[in-house]
Amino acid sequence: MIYEQKAVLSSYVIINQAMDFPFGVTFYPDQWPKEYWETAFSQIAESGFNLVRFGEMAWNWIEPREGDFKFEDLDKALELADKYGLKVLLGIPTSMAPPWLVRKHPDTRPVSNQGTLYPEYGPRPNICRDSGTYKKYAERMIRKLVDRYKGHPAVRYWQIDNEPVYPPLDSTTNEDFCHCPDTRAAFVLWALKKYGSLEKINEVWGAKFWTNEFGELEDITTPKTGLWDAGNPHIFLDWYRFKTDSLKAFLEWEKDLVLEYDKSRKIGTNGFLGICPRVPDHDRLAEKMDWYGWDIYPMGGKNSPQQIGEMADWWRSFSSHRKTEFHVTELQGGPNVRWGYPGYIEGPEIRTWTHQIVAHGAKSILYHQWRTAIFGGEAGGFGILNADGSRTKRLEAIEKAGQEIKKAVQTLHAHELKPKAAVAYLRSSDIQTYQEQGPPRAIAGQWEQVRADLGHTHGLDSCQGAHQVLWNYYNPAAFVFERHLEDGELPYKVLLVPNPYLLKEDHAATLKKFVEKGGVLITESRFGAKNENAHIHQKGLLGELLNITCDHIETIGDRIAIPKIRCYAYGFRDLISGADEVLMEYEDGYPAFIEKKIGRGRVLYATFSLFMSIGKIGNSRLASYVRRHLPLPEFFLKDKDSIEMVLWEGSDTPILYVINHSPKKEKFEIDVPEKYLKAEDALTDKGFEIEKGKLPITIAGRGVLVLHLS
Ligand SMILES: [Zn+2]
């Protein structure tokens, strides 16, 4: 069926304005014939959307030749959006320079560690954001664009750049970027500012090793190898810190330019979760943004409900203790092409993704994208509508989700997510593990056989394992970052610290204090083996925490059995002596799990890479074992993998957001405190009786309940 217009203009303008939750789609007018624009905007509004995103990759659309700005088309697109009551998230297209700029200034292109230039067009970003020449052109374009639309009634948000990362966006090459002269100069300045003198730089970077000491600032270059090639681990660590700081400064420069003209609209940018060599530290980038957008393709990533929930928890946590809003800038609206798993998306799964993301605290949702692209690198993909513009079950599901989340958001309005458990992501440890272990390598020498598989994704695999322990036990969970260890803010009952390889003494002290005050700390192999600059802690920090000695840290070649729970350990292993509270041993007799009470709390220590063994290897028996060491949650749904329950808290009346991720009908009970007697579903007004703390639920396949307890 070809899409038919069903409503009259005035009625849906009113409906959409009533729903303030930003709910929209990407639609790129510059990629469609002008005759289609009005149809598109009217149908978008009619489907219940109130926001459209475009412009973020369209520099050439507004400046087709150097200095020759043409805004007629953008004027028309904004006018049409406004006519149909739609607000616009307008992109500032700095992530990809037009061919005229690259032709005139080829030195703006990113340079890899091997000296190759990134392609002129195709993958992005095709320019180095440290290039002064590029920034001059970007600034002129930003000023023209923002000055023109600063007062436009349709513009609701500004998006600066798009997915600011260093190339490459995927892992098909192991090249590192950017090593151009501008970036090198910025790196040297950054180091000098951080350390104050060349002498200090040499000391922190351990430059005495193999005659690397720098005599002049001119001697410093960007690091071009990892440890597998005898690269310098300390410079490498600072190199990644610099890259984040540099991108953060770029985004804030761009934001400040917008603010010169427009102080009333919220400004942000977007990104996706990825391994440390490919993406910057999102927690740092998000700091000064009014909103920070998450781009999520659950089918493309073959993500389980736990993984989607985990990523949502990451994203929400980037805003914790900040004013930054958690937005979703791209939620997969149709099947993947080009990258990712290309599985078909019928429709109903998008509805449950939408609920899950709202349940985890998102303050807006935009789907990608309105209609299947008919040309370009993503032709045939991602469309909610078919390529011919006809309706799909995907659109039906999204329209339904839009109606439902409107009710859900109204119900959740006076409630909040208050995670009781958190996972610490230690980015310095992640970078260092990657630097030491390196990317996957094709040549399997003895050295590579042991190591090559570990480093690339060790940090994220470990976080996933930790989140898996908490999944549906403490939901939502929070992520905490180095800044939280710095300021000592850990308001949780339970803290999981995966990959605790690099720790400042102060950070270890914060963790110990957390335990003394009654917290449960679960952590693993290599605890505080190195300091924040990746120098060995000569005494190690494990002794201070657990009063034991780590005699050696080894890389487990294959795997090693823990017979008592019929599990295997993978990754790294501490060979421990002097522990008196050993819960479990390996087959060779070394301690595998140690427990220790400190003050009012306790520590569970795994002497191997526990969380990676759960997250990457998928050892659910290990996850259950760890869960037995957690305090029981107040609201408890036992062992139902396809069902998710997220707790929202109010002054006295909690809400349980319950989602059935499977297409099968399910029956189960939720344990709740005995003072609650009834629950009412905000979506259907249906009531449920609670008897002696047991809330019995029957839920349809892909069903959703927003249960308000009283
Ligand atoms: Zn560069």
- CATH numbers and ranges of domains, the chain: 9-171+240-410 (3.20.20.80), 421-627 (3.40.50.880), 636-709 (2.60.40.1180)
Q: What is the pLDDT of residue 15?
A: 44
Cα of 429 from ligand 1 centre, angstroms: 25
What separation in Å is there between the alpha carbon of 159 and the centre of ligand 1?
A: 23
- 229-249 pLDDT tens trace: 778 999 999 999 999 999 999
Is residue 17 over pLDDT 70? no
Please provide the average confidence, as pLDDT, over all residues in the chain. Answer: 93
Ligand 1 centre and the CA of 219: distance in Å?
18
The residue-averaged pLDDT of 18-40 equals 93
Token code pair at residue 56:
């973020």
What are the tokens at 64? Answer: 């087709």
Average pLDDT over residues 148-163: 98
Distance 131 CA to ligand 1 centre (A): 6
Task: Using the mean position of ligand 1's atoms as its centre, give its distance from the Cα of residue 177 in Å.
Answer: 7
Percent of the chain with pLDDT over 90: 84
Amino acid at 50: N
- Cα(161) to ligand 1 centroid in Å equals 17
Q: How far is the CA of 132 from the centre of ligand 1 (A)?
A: 10
- pLDDT tier, 580 (very low <50, low <70, confident <90, very high otherwise): confident
Distance 277 CA to ligand 1 centre (A): 16
95 has a pLDDT exceeding 90: yes
| CA dist., res. 365 & res. 362, Å (int) | 7
Average pLDDT for 10-20: 49
**Arithmetic mean of pLDDT, 26-40:** 98
- Please report which confidence band the pLDDT of residue 7 belongs to, taking 50, 70 and 90 as the band edges: very low
Kindly give the distance from the C-alpha atom of residue 318 to the centroid of ligand 1, in angstroms, as a whole number: 27
Average pLDDT over residues 535-539: 92
CA 280 – CA 205 distance, rounded (Å): 21
Backbone φ and ψ of 133, nearest 5° = -65, -50
Q: How confident is the model at residue 451 (pLDDT cuts 50, 70, 90)?
A: low
Mean pLDDT of 522-533: 97
**Ligand 1 centroid to residue 112 C-alpha, Å:** 9
pLDDT tens track for 311-361: 999 999 998 889 999 999 999 999 999 889 999 999 999 999 999 999 999
Q: What is the mean pLDDT of residues 387-403?
A: 98
The rounded Å distance from CA 248 to ligand 1 centre is 15
Q: How far is the CA of 351 from the centre of ligand 1 (A)?
A: 42
Q: What pLDDT was estimated at residue 9? A: 43
Listed in sequence order, the residues at least 6 apart from 325 whose beta carbon sits closer than 8 Å to its beta carbon are 266, 268, 290, 291, 292, 319, 363, 364
Distances in Å between the Cα of 438 and the Cα atoms of 65, 418, 453, 455 are 43, 37, 8, 6
Distance 180 CA to ligand 1 centre (A): 4
Q: Which residue has the tokens 């005898």?
A: 230
d(CA 150, CA 384): 31
Beta bridge partners of 594: 582, 605
Q: What value does the mean pLDDT take over residues 106-129?
A: 93
Please report which confidence band the pLDDT of residue 441 belongs to, taking 50, 70 and 90 as the band edges.
low
* Distance from residue 184's CA to the centre of ligand 1 (Å): 7
Distance (angstroms) between ligand 1 centre and the Cα of 458 equals 27
Report the separation in Å between the CA atom of 133 and the middle of ligand 1, taken as the mean of its atom positions.
11
Q: Most confidently modeled of 90-99, 275-284, 532-541?
A: 90-99
Cα(225) to ligand 1 centroid in Å equals: 17
Q: Separation of 254 CA from ligand 1 center, angstroms?
A: 17
Residue predicted with more confidence, 54 or 228: 54
Contact 305, 269 (CB under 8 A): no
CB burial of 468-489 (b: ≥16 within 10 Å; e: otherwise) equals bbbbbbbbbbbbbbbebbeeee
| CA 249 – ligand 1 centroid, Å | 14
Average pLDDT of the residues in 27-53: 98
- Cα of 191 vs centre of ligand 1, distance in Å, is 16
Query: Distance, CA 201 to ligand 1 centroid (Å)?
Result: 22
How much is the pLDDT for 228?
A: 65
pLDDT of residue 258: 98
Task: Give residue 108 CA to ligand 1 midpoint distance, Å.
Answer: 7
Q: What is the mean pLDDT of residues 84-108?
A: 97
